[in-house]
Every structure is written in structure tokens, then in C-alpha cells.
Amino acid sequence: MNYEELYDEANGEVAVGNLEQATTLYRQSVELNPGFIDGWQSLAMAYIKTNRPKEAVEAAKMAAHLDPNTQVTWTTLSLAYNKDGNIEKAEMAGAKAKVISWGGKVAQDGEHFPLAEL
């Protein structure tokens, strides 16, 4: 199965409420394609929903690193940090989401946001 098929299957598992299986499939999809932003984003949300905040933070950081000028990646990172109890970083990620919602950018076009700064 390729990464897109794994991702589609994971989405089906989410639809029927099987979050553990979905998490496994999302993880497999990003292992096959580490640059798959939607996979990282969905994996982060699955980790949030299955109460694994540290893993959610790491997955959300990858999504924000790969796609730094998309509001949803920063919103997810904010949610993950909040779930992990890191309110300061949650607020910082939320502020980046707000800047993007206003039409701003947090990184130059084609530039990845450094993971160390997330």
C-alpha cells in the first residue's frame, strides 16, 4: 500500500471511530512519505484525540515545519501544546495561526520553519 492509500484507509477508520487503527495508519503513511503534510496533520489530531499529547506535539511540529504558512498547522500545534500543558508554547503557536488568518506569513515562501523554534 502506498502512503496515500494508507492515509485514505486511516480516514475511513476515523469515520467509524477506530482512532487507534487510524493512528497506526497515519503513522505508516508519514513513514513512507515524511514530507506528507496532511499525514502529519492528521496524525497529530489522532494523537490529540487518543490522549497522547507528546506524540501530538511532535507530529504537529512536523506539519508546521513543512507547511509554516497554513493556519491549521499552527492551530493544531497550539491544541497539542495545550493538551500537553505547555500554555506558553500553545499561545505562541496560536498567535502564529492568527497572523496567518489575517493574511500574514510566518516564513518566507518555500522556507521551512525551523523545528528547534517550534
Q: Which domains does the chain have, with CATH numbers?
A: 3-117 (1.25.40.10)
Confidence at residue 33, expressed as pLDDT on a 0 to 100 scale: 98
pLDDT digits (tens, 9 = 90+) for 27-80: 999 999 999 999 999 999 999 999 999 999 999 999 999 999 999 999 999 999
Q: Which residues contact 84 (CB under 8 A, 6 or more apart)?
A: 53, 54, 56, 57
Residue with the three cell numbers 504537529: 60
Higher pLDDT, 66 or 118: 66
pTM of the model: 0.92
Name which of 77, 8, 69, 7 is nearest 36 in CA terms. Answer: 7
- The answer to whether 63 and 77 are in contact (CB under 8 A) is yes
Give the Å distances, CA to CA, from 62 to 1, 37, 55. 23, 8, 11
